[in-house]
Structures are given as C-alpha cells and as structure tokens.
C-alpha cells in the first residue's frame, strides 16, 4: 500500500509540475498574446489596416517585432526547462530539492514573461489611440447562428 501512495504522490507531482509549466507558458503561446487568443501576425495585420499614419504604423510594427523576438526567446527558455523537468522525472534518484530548483526556474521565467509583456503592452498602448486600440483587440465578427438559419430558410431548407 505504501508503494501505491508513493506512486500516487509522484503522479500528482508530475501533474502539478506540468500544469505549472503549461499555465505559466500561456503568456504568449497557444492562448495568444496577452491571453487574448490572438496571434502577433493577426494583430500586426489589424494594426496595419487601422493605423493611417505611416510613422505610428512603423513604430507599432517595431513593437510587434520586439514582441515576436521575446516570444521566441521565452519559448526557448521554456523548452529547456521542460526538457530538464522530464529528465528529473525519469531520474529515480531525483530529490525534492532537485524539483524545487526547477520550480524556482519556472517561477523566474513566468515573472520575467509577465514583466516583459506588460511593458510591451504599455509600449504598444502608447503608440495607438483609443479607437485603434479597440479595433486591434476586438475579435473579428463571425457569422451568427441566426444568419445561418436565415440563409437556410432562404434556400428553402
């Protein structure tokens, strides 16, 4: 029974650790930039359409370039941490202290990402007026269910 409990604790630790990595990694990953679900390329395209002034458009483009560079750097750091975590999980002799070091690295990466992306958000905000900001972050319009229903009715379905 003690073996089962140790195994269960190990499984719980793995789930907690991977959850920490995945949640922390969401700053710019699959959840999109700033947890918006939007990718940098989509935001860049919207900004190019919304901003009429060439100088401000170029400044915003440079901000997006910096965001993309930081995202790539952050992804590389996160990948290295995940690799080290899996090595530690496979190592039977890994101790709690070994995992505490990995948790500290994950916390440091998450803190760095938060600070970086908050400062980049502020830089972007300083270059875009209120109307452009709304256009940039408003999700694209999608066809509603009602529009599809009315289309079906027009087709005789």
Give dist(CA 4, CA 11) in Å, integer. 10
Which tokens is 100 given?
């505490």
- The predicted model scores a pTM of 0.62
Which tokens is 134 given?
């709304």
Mean pLDDT of all residues in 112-135:
89
Residue spans of the domains in the chain: they are: 2-139
Mean pLDDT of all residues in 68-77:
85
Is residue 30 very low, low, confident or very high in pLDDT (cuts 50, 70, 90)?
very low
Q: Judge whether 105 and 85 are in contact, CB under 8 Å.
A: no
Q: Could you tell me the CA-to-CA distances from 39 to 22, 32, 56, 91 in Å, in that order?
A: 18, 5, 20, 37
């Amino acid at each position: 029974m003690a073996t089962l409990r140790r195994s269960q604790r190990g499984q719980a630790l793995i789930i907690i650790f991977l959850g920490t990595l995945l949640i922390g990694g969401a700053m710019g990953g699959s959840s999109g930039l700033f947890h918006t679900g939007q990718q940098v390329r989509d935001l860049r395209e919207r900004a190019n359409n919304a901003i009429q002034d060439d100088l401000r458009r170029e400044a915003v483009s440079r901000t997006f370039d910096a965001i993309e560079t930081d995202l790539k750097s952050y992804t590389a750091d996160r990948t290295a941490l995940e690799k080290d975590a899996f090595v530690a999980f496979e190592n039977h002799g890994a101790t709690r202290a070994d995992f505490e070091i990995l948790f500290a690295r994950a916390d440091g990466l998450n803190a760095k990402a938060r600070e970086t992306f908050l400062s980049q958000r502020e830089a972007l905000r300083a270059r875009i007026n209120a109307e452009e900001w709304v256009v940039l972050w408003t999700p694209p319009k999608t066809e509603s269910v009602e529009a599809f229903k009315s289309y079906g009715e027009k087709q005789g379905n």
